[in-house]
Structure 1
Amino acid sequence: MIIMAIKMIAVDLDGTLLTSANTISSETQRTLQIAKSQGIKVVLASGRPLSGVLPFEEQLGLSGEDQYAVVFNGAVVQNLSGKVLMSQEMDYRDFTTMLRLQRLSHVNLHFETTECFWTLDHNLSVQMQINAAFTNNEIRVRNRDEIPQDFTFNKVGFTCAKDSDQIDKLWAAIPEWAFQSYDIVHSLDTCIELNALGASKGNALMNLAERLKINPKDVMVFGDQGNDLSMFENPDFKKIAMGNAISDIKERADFVTDDNDHNGIAKALKKFVI
C-alpha cells in the first residue's frame, strides 16, 4: 500500500460525501476528521451556495477564516466565515440569454447569488423548492421589470419535476454557441446547471491550492457527477471516483472506491492517505 502525501482533500457533497439519506456516515465523518487532525485541508466542493454547505462543514468540525469551501460549482470560493476569495459572475445580458434558453422547453429557471435565489417563475416546481430548502435559501419571485440592469449572479439552475422529460428536451436543444459561451453541466436527471465560462470546481481548486501554496499533485478529489468532471480532467490531482459515479468520472479516475452509501470516501482515505 502506498501512502500519498496529500495536503488537500476536495469532496463533492451530493452523491459523494452525503449518503442517499442526505447525511454524512459516522465512519466517513471520523475519517475526514482524522485527516484534518493530520493537517490536511478538507474542502467541500459543491454546486450549492455556502448556506447549503455550512451545516456539513460544522458536522466535520470545520469553521473559521482558515477553512474554505468551493461553491456554486466553482464560481465562488469562500472561507467559512463567509469572505469571498474568488467570484465569477454573470450579468444582465446573461440574464436575458438564460430567459431565451428557458423557452426551449417547459422548465423552471432560477438565478443563484451569495444572498438568495431569484426567479421570474410564479409557479415553482417541487424540485426548485427542494433545492432552496436543502441549501437553506430564500427564493425571491420577481417580475422581469423588477430585475435591475446591474443584476449579477453566480450560477443558473434549470429544473423540472422528477417524472418530466423536459430537462432532457432542453439539453438536446441547447445550441452549440451556448456551450462555447458558458460552462453547462447536466448534473442530475432533473437539473441543468450553468456558470460563466471557466467557472468550474477544477479551476477553483487550482486557484485555492495556489493561494495556500499547495502543489496540485498533493490534492485529492472525490466526485460522482457531471459537475465534478472538471476536477477529474486535471492531470495532477489524485482522482477518486465514487462507486455510484457516472462513467465519465470513473474513466478519468485513478481509483474507483465504494459508493456513497458504503463509506467510499473513508475506504479510499484509509487505503491511500491515513
Structure 2
Amino acid sequence: MAIKLIAVDLDGTLLSSGNTILPETQRMLRVASENGIKVVLATGRPFSGVLPFAKQLGLSGDDQYAIVFNGAVVQTIAGKVLMSQELNYQDFNNMLRFQRLSHVNVHFETTQYFLTCDHDLSIQMQINAALTNNIMKVRERKDIPQDFTFNKVGFTSWEGNDQVEKLWNNLPSWAFDTYDIVRNFDSIIELNALGASKGNALMDLASRLKIDQKDVMIFGDQGNDISMFSNPNFMKIAMGNAISTIKDKADYVTDDNDHNGIAKALKKFVL
C-alpha cells in the first residue's frame, strides 16, 4: 500500500480544542504534501472556513483540493468548483417544516453567506458563522426568493442539546430517504442533498485524480465522517476523541486531536 491521498476532517480532527493546528501535525502534513501526497481537507465547513488552514499547510492552487459542506461541494484551493450539489426552495420549505418538530434554529449555508429566518439565534449558530468567517443574514420568510438555493442546512438549539435530540428522533422516515442527514456532535444536525456526503465526494475526487481507493487514507471523528468510514477500501484512522461508530469502523485508532493524533498515525503508517 502506498498512500497517495490523505483526507482530513477539520473540527475535532485536524484542529485542536483551541481551533488551531498543532505544530507537529502541521509539520507532518506538510512533509506528506512535499512528498507528493495529496492532502485534502474534508469538512462540513464552507470554503471560507477552510482556506486559512489550507494556507497553514502550504496548500494552494488548482492542483490542491477541498471537500466542503459535508461533500456537497468539491473545489480546488484556488476556488475552481469541480462539483456542486444544491437544495432549492421546496427543500427550504421542508426545512421549516422540520423546524416545527422541536425548539431549534435552522440556518441555510451558501458559498457566499449563511441565512436564517430566526431572530433569536442559538450560540452554536453564531459560533458556526464566526468560525467559518461568514456573515449571518436574518431575513423574513416572505423575502426569500423562489430561486433561492443553498448547499447545506444546520439545525441547532438555544435551549440545549435535548431539543436537537428531540428533532433527531422526530424527523419523518421520508426525510432520510430524501436527504443526507447526519448528527454532528450532540449540538448539530446537518442536512445535504441526497448523495452529498464526504465519502461520495472523496470517491469522486480520487477517481478524477486516478488514485485507487486503496491508496486513500482518511482521518475523522464525528457523524459527518461516517460516509468515509463506511468505504471498505479507504485506510480509516479514527481520532482518539471520535464517537464509537467511527472507532468501530476504523482500521486504527490514533491519539486525540489535542495530542497530535494525525501526526502519530502518519509516522506509523506513511512517513
Query: What's the TM-score once normalised by structure 1's chain length?
Result: 0.97
Mapped partners of 2:160, 2:65: distance in 1:
36
Q: Are 1:216 and 2:179 an aligned pair? A: no
Q: In structure 1, what is the equivalent of residue 233 of structure 2?
A: 236
Q: In structure 2, what is the equivalent of residue 157 of structure 1?
A: 154
Whether the 8 Å contact between 1:44 and 1:68 is mirrored in structure 2 is yes
Query: What's the TM-score once normalised by structure 2's chain length?
Result: 0.98
Secondary structure of residue in 2 paired with 1:165 = helix
Structure 1: gaps spanning 5 or more residues: none
Whether the 8 Å contact between 1:127 and 1:162 is mirrored in structure 2 is no
Whether the 8 Å contact between 2:42 and 2:198 is mirrored in structure 1 is yes
Q: What is the percent sequence identity of the aligned residues?
A: 73
Q: Are 1:89 and 2:89 an aligned pair? A: no
Q: In structure 1, what is the equivalent of residue 224 of structure 2?
A: 227
Whether the 8 Å contact between 1:19 and 1:25 is mirrored in structure 2 is yes
Q: In structure 2, what is the equivalent of residue 13 of structure 1?
A: 10
CA RMSD of aligned residues (A): 0.9
1:207-253 CA-partner distances (Å, limit 9, x unpaired): 11111111111100000000000000011100000011111111111
Q: In structure 2, what is the equivalent of residue 198 of structure 1?
A: 195
Mapped partners of 1:130, 1:162: distance in 2:
15
Q: After TM superposition, what 4+ stretches of structure 1 lie above 4 angstroms from structure 2?
A: none
Whether the 8 Å contact between 1:162 and 1:190 is mirrored in structure 2 is no
Deviation at 1:267, TM superposition (A): 0.5
How many residue pairs get aligned? The number is 271
Mapped partners of 2:15, 2:159: distance in 1:
20
Whether the 8 Å contact between 1:17 and 1:265 is mirrored in structure 2 is yes
Match for residue 180 of structure 1 among 163, 170, 177: 177
Pair 86,264 (structure 1): closer, same or farther in 2 beyond 3 Å: same
Deviation at 1:190, TM superposition (A): 1.2
Match for residue 135 of structure 1 among 132, 136, 160: 132
Q: In structure 1, what is the equivalent of residue 242 of structure 2?
A: 245
Mapped partners of 2:123, 2:222: distance in 1:
22
Whether the 8 Å contact between 1:104 and 1:170 is mirrored in structure 2 is yes
Mapped partners of 1:137, 1:161: distance in 2:
20
Q: In structure 2, what is the equivalent of residue 108 of structure 1?
A: 105
Q: Are 1:99 and 2:96 an aligned pair? A: yes
1:95-139 CA-partner distances (Å, limit 9, x unpaired): 100000000011110000111111111111111111000000011
